[in-house]
């Protein structure tokens, strides 16, 4: 398969960095905006990237953060004013449009 290029990684990082506090985006949206063939690529990048991106503003399309990060992530979002109802963020309201 086509390896991930540095440029693609840069695009994803730029996109994530562009999400304003108080808003969130999804792996799928970022993949589309960065012109990647699969949201999994974004997930892989997020998982491996060690820079200081606002990773907590990236959630799944269902409005739920990945299970192992849920606690801290929802806490950080709440601190920014993004309220989660029963562990789920209302994407309809806080979804960031690129």
Is 55 an interacting residue with respect to DNA (CB under 7 A)? Answer: yes
Residue 4 Cβ vs DNA, minimum distance, rounded to whole Å? 4
Is 39 an interacting residue with respect to DNA (CB under 7 A)? Answer: yes
Q: Which is nearer to DNA, 22 or 62 (CB)?
A: 62
**62: exposed, middle or buried (Cβ count in 10 Å: 0-12, 13-18, 19+):** exposed
Q: Which is nearer to DNA, 4 or 18 (CB)?
A: 4
Residue 90 Cβ vs DNA, minimum distance, rounded to whole Å? 10
């Amino acid at each position: 398969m086509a390896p991930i290029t540095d440029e693609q990684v840069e695009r994803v990082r730029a996109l994530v960095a562009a999400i304003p506090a108080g808003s969130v985006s999804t792996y799928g949206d970022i993949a589309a905006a960065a012109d990647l063939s699969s949201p999994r690529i974004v997930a892989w990048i997020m998982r491996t990237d060690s820079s200081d991106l606002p990773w907590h503003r990236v959630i799944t399309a269902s409005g739920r953060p990945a299970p192992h990060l849920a606690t801290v992530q929802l806490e950080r979002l709440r601190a920014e004013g993004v309220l989660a109802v029963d562990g789920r963020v209302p994407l309809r309201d806080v979804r960031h449009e690129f």
